[in-house]
Amino acid sequence: MRPEFGSLTEHVVEFGRRLRAAGVLCGPAEVADALRALQAVDVVDREAFRLALRSTLPHRREDLRVFDALFEPYWMGRATRQQPQDARDAPSQAQAEPLAGAPSVQRWAQGAEDGEQEVPGYSPLEILGRKDFSTFREDELDAIARLVVAIARRIATRWSRRRRRARRSHALDMRRTLRLHLRWGGAFPELAFQRRRVRKHRIVLLCDVSGSMDVYSRFLIQFVYALQGAVGRVESFVFSTSLTRVTRELRTPSLRGALDRLSRSVPNWSGGTKIGASLRQFLDRYGGLLDRRTVVLIVSDGWDTGEVDVLRRAMHEIRARAARVIWLNPLLGSPGYQPLTRGMQAALPYVDVFASAHNADSLRELEHALGKRLRAG
């Protein structure tokens, strides 16, 4: 693939493709920028050359890391022999033709723009949506994760359209008022100048990652994060026998990688469960996150091995301080299941919405519970 005696332009094009192949958000437009940048810096200065590419090709922190990993191996080999000549080559070539239209850039586009399909072709959507998350094979997980994210995006779009309508109608009213007045005269109506603020919620995610709950929590996290822009901020915690805050770790576009790392580093991931103690820990350390705009989302089967009273008291307090409490119990999705664990029974009186979240369809149904206006202002 690597051209033996290419011009600098061709090498940059090829480097861009490799970045892209490694998952970097980078296409012909970036390569064109990089080539323009190289005309503006002294390309014989190695560091200037590197920084010019680094400012133009990647656009995310994660991509900078990939860039750094690939830069030396790619450019080391070819620099000494070709660079001096290339340095002279590039500008003249660039002046001759608009770069974005350069044949090599076009080839890049054709070669690398393989379609990114949202949903796999081998399994009909309806079946995917109904299947319990825990029954997917390892190699199907990516596909179902994409479906979950696609559902979330659709919901998010719907919400933002709704907000937009609410805002627009207000602005139009003001204009209409004036126009009507111009035409018909008369006393001025009382006019409100403040625009209605559309306030978003905050979501606190408390995910049970003990034993078999792990897989459901993973999907819910991906779902909620894909919604996040439309819903509001998300604060995330995982718990089994104790609680860990993971908001910072999850602040990354590659959630799956982050989740894999976490499952190795969080103590007792996939261990036993102490729900009450974990919720108490949450209240003591992070209780300040709760207010009348906060929706608390708990994912757990309610299988608590601790004191039931600790759980009851913690739930009581959460319910009193948050706007809404949603408990997602994936076992609800199994036919014939009754939420009869002692822990679940203790918690239920403090729960506003009780749902299953065991498959993609049930996540879809969360739209209403999450999007509903909050009780208090």
Partner 1 sequence: MGDVEARPTLGDVEAILAALAHEGYIADREIATAIYLSIELHKPLLVEGAAGVGKTEIAKVMARALGTDLIRLQCYEGLDVHTALYEWNYQKQMLRIRLEEGSGRSPEEKEQTIFSEPFLLRRPLLQAITHPRAPVLLIDEVDRVDEEFEAFLLEVLSDWQITIPEIGTIRAQHVPYVVLTSNRTRELSDALRRRCLYLWIDYPTFEKELAIVLRKVPGVSRRLAEQIAAFLHAARALDLQKVPGVAETLDWSAALIRLHRDHLDREAVERTLGCLFKHHEDQRVAKGPWLDRALAVIAEAQRDGQALEASLDRLERLAKG
Among 175, 187, 267, 377, binds partner 1 (CB under 8 A): 175
Q: Is 370 in the site for partner 1 (CB under 8 A)?
A: no
**Nearest Cα residue to 76 out of 109, 43, 46:** 46
Q: Which of residues 268-327 bind partner 1 (CB under 8 A)?
A: 285
Among 6, 7, 18, 41, binds partner 1 (CB under 8 A): 41
Nearer to partner 1, 125 or 174 (CB): 174
Among 1, 76, 127, 182, binds partner 1 (CB under 8 A): 182
User: Strand pairing partners for 326?
Assistant: 297, 353
Nearer to partner 1, 105 or 128 (CB): 105
Stretch that binds partner 1, among 12-20, 30-38, 298-306, 359-367 (CB under 8 A): 30-38
Beta carbon of residue 359, minimum distance to partner 1 (angstroms, whole number): 25
Stretch that binds partner 1, among 56-64, 99-107, 334-342, 349-357 (CB under 8 A): 56-64
Nearer to partner 1, 58 or 333 (CB): 58
Beta carbon of residue 26, minimum distance to partner 1 (angstroms, whole number): 8
Among 8, 31, 52, 279, binds partner 1 (CB under 8 A): 52
Nearer to partner 1, 134 or 228 (CB): 228
How far apart (Å, rounded) are the C-alpha atoms in residues 321 and 293?
A: 10
Stretch that binds partner 1, among 4-12, 25-33, 79-87, 326-334 (CB under 8 A): 25-33
Question: Contacts from 152-157 at CB under 8 Å and sequence distance 24+?
Answer: 152/222, 152/223, 152/224, 152/226, 152/227, 152/363, 153/226, 155/227, 155/230, 155/364, 155/367, 155/371, 156/226, 156/227, 156/229, 156/230, 156/231, 157/230
Q: Which of residues 238-257 bind partner 1 (CB under 8 A)?
A: 245, 251, 253
| End-to-end Cα, the chain, rounded Å | 61
CB atoms within 10 A of CB 172: 10
Please, which residues have CB within 8 angstroms of residue 319's CB and are 6 or more apart in sequence? 325, 350, 351
Beta carbon of residue 59, minimum distance to partner 1 (angstroms, whole number): 4
Q: Is 79 in the site for partner 1 (CB under 8 A)?
A: no
Q: Are strands 243-245 and 324-328 parallel, antiparallel or unpaired?
A: unpaired
Stretch that binds partner 1, among 81-89, 113-121, 176-184, 362-370 (CB under 8 A): 176-184
How far apart (Å, rounded) are the C-alpha atoms in residues 241 and 305?
A: 9
Please, which residues have CB within 8 angstroms of residue 252's CB and are 6 or more apart in sequence? 62, 258
Q: What is the DSSP string of 1-32?
A: ---TT--HHHHHHHHHHHHHHTT-S--HHHHH
Beta carbon of residue 47, minimum distance to partner 1 (angstroms, whole number): 7
Instruction: Tell the residue number behind the tokens 């359209």, with chain if given.
Output: 161
**Nearest Cα residue to 38 out of 102, 96, 83, 105:** 83
> In the numeric block, which tokens belong to residue 20?
């892209």
* Range list of β-strands (E), 163-265: 202-208, 234-239, 243-245
Stretch 139-168: interaction string toward partner 1, x if CB under 8 A: -----------------xx--xx-xx--x-
Q: Is 37 in the site for partner 1 (CB under 8 A)?
A: yes
Beta carbon of residue 358, minimum distance to partner 1 (angstroms, whole number): 27
How distant, in Å, are the alpha carbons of 50, 58, 64, 101 from that of 29?
A: 18, 11, 17, 10
> In the numeric block, which tokens belong to residue 322?
């948050």
Binding-site size for partner 1 (CB under 8 A) equals: 54
Stretch that binds partner 1, among 59-67, 90-98, 102-110, 300-308 (CB under 8 A): 59-67
Beta carbon of residue 295, minimum distance to partner 1 (angstroms, whole number): 15
How far apart (Å, rounded) are the C-alpha atoms in residues 261 and 179?
A: 60
Where along the sequence are the contacts to partner 1 (CB under 8 A)? 25, 27, 29-30, 33, 36-37, 40-41, 47-48, 51-52, 54-56, 58-61, 64, 156-157, 160-161, 163-164, 167, 171, 174-175, 178-179, 181-183, 185, 188, 191, 193, 195, 197-200, 228-230, 232-233, 245, 251, 253, 285
